[in-house]
């Protein structure tokens, strides 16, 4: 049979097909991290399309291509094509980030699905933070401090709440209206009390879990703010001073080579300036998931977690959503061709 069809899933279709299910997303991402460790995935380096330098992309924007292959019982290839344009919300009333995901059969190479990846990208980023909390947060962690009230802050909070019985949340963001809106919406969604505070120091100091999710180009988190026994989820940019990393008892990443290659987060900048070496890292998170290395070993450890993200995380979530959409007859069936011109 020569006719080739694939499913197209819109933003709304992705939501209908389980795109906002954080617990399932955490399961997906944990599974794919283990698959990668066991050699069942292919993870090429991301391709970055930008005008100008890396420093200028905060103004000019960028589009990244993240290809990958998932083996095991999945056997698909795919691509996440993700754009990040910082000025979109203010100038165009659009999300800062948007993406498309393509899934292909690895038996024929034919497309299975093309879908909006904007929610998937945000959810899988949050899910990694949830996995880190599962293995690295101290027992009985109750307090959470956050800097950043954007989309990633939203999904990170969703993931933490799914794993940890957080009782107190304090959030800070530069724009007051953003943090107030964030607190109001997330309180309603998650059923927890969120306090808006007036500084990053107030938000982060003394907390069991701290999160920074900002596109910072200059560090603002100081070592004295990071309490003993805390887990620091360093999600985005150059957000903390070197001393925050060096005082940590354990430094954990998701893909150290990609962290170094991206060179936008504090540990990577330290590495390229000769202030951090490969041997200073405790583990890749997957080594902890499979039991090769320990996670948290005492209530007093300061643990620093730095994810960079991988396209295979998006692909495994997209594959679940694709299966759900097929089962529920969600989305549009589109035809690539009825009969190829040449074979």
The residues that are catalytic are 80
d(C-alpha 315, C-alpha 70), whole Å: 8
Measure the N-to-C terminal CA separation of the chain; round to a whole number of Å: 13
The residues facing 48 across adjacent strands are 64
């Amino acid at each position: 049979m020569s006719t080739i069809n694939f499913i197209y899933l819109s933003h709304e279709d992705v939501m209908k097909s389980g795109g906002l299910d954080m617990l399932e997303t955490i399961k997906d991402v944990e599974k794919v991290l283990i698959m990668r460790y066991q050699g069942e995935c292919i993870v090429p380096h991301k391709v970055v399309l930008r005008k100008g330098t890396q420093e200028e992309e905060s103004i000019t924007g960028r589009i990244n291509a993240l290809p990958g292959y998932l083996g095991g019982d999945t056997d698909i290839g795919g691509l996440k094509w993700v754009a990040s344009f910082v000025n979109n919300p203010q100038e165009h009333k659009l999300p800062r980030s948007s993406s498309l995901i393509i899934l292909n059969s690895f038996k024929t190479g034919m497309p299975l699905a093309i879908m909006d990846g904007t929610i998937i990208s945000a959810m899988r980023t949050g899910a990694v933070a949830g996995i880190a909390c599962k293995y690295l947060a101290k027992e009985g962690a109750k307090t959470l401090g956050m800097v950043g009230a954007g989309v990633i802050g939203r999904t990170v909070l969703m993931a933490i709440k799914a794993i940890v019985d957080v009782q107190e949340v304090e959030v800070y963001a530069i724009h007051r209206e953003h943090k107030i809106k964030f607190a109001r919406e997330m309180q309603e969604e998650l059923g927890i009390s969120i306090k808006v505070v007036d500084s990053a120091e107030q938000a982060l100091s003394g907390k069991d879990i701290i999160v920074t999710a900002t596109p910072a180009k200059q560090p603002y988190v100081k070592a004295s703010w990071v309490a003993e026994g805390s887990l620091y989820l360093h999600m985005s940019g150059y957000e903390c001073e070197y001393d925050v990393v060096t005082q940590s008892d354990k430094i954990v990443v998701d893909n150290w080579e990609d962290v170094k290659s991206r060179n936008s987060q504090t540990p990577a900048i330290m590495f390229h300036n000769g202030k951090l070496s490969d041997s200073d890292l405790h583990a890749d998170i997957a080594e902890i998931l499979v039991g090769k290395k320990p996670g948290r070993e005492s209530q007093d450890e300061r643990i620093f977690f730095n994810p960079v993200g991988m396209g295979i995380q998006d692909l495994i979530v997209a594959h679940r959503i694709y299966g759900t959409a097929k089962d529920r007859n969600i989305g549009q069936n589109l035809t690539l061709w009825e009969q190829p011109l040449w074979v």
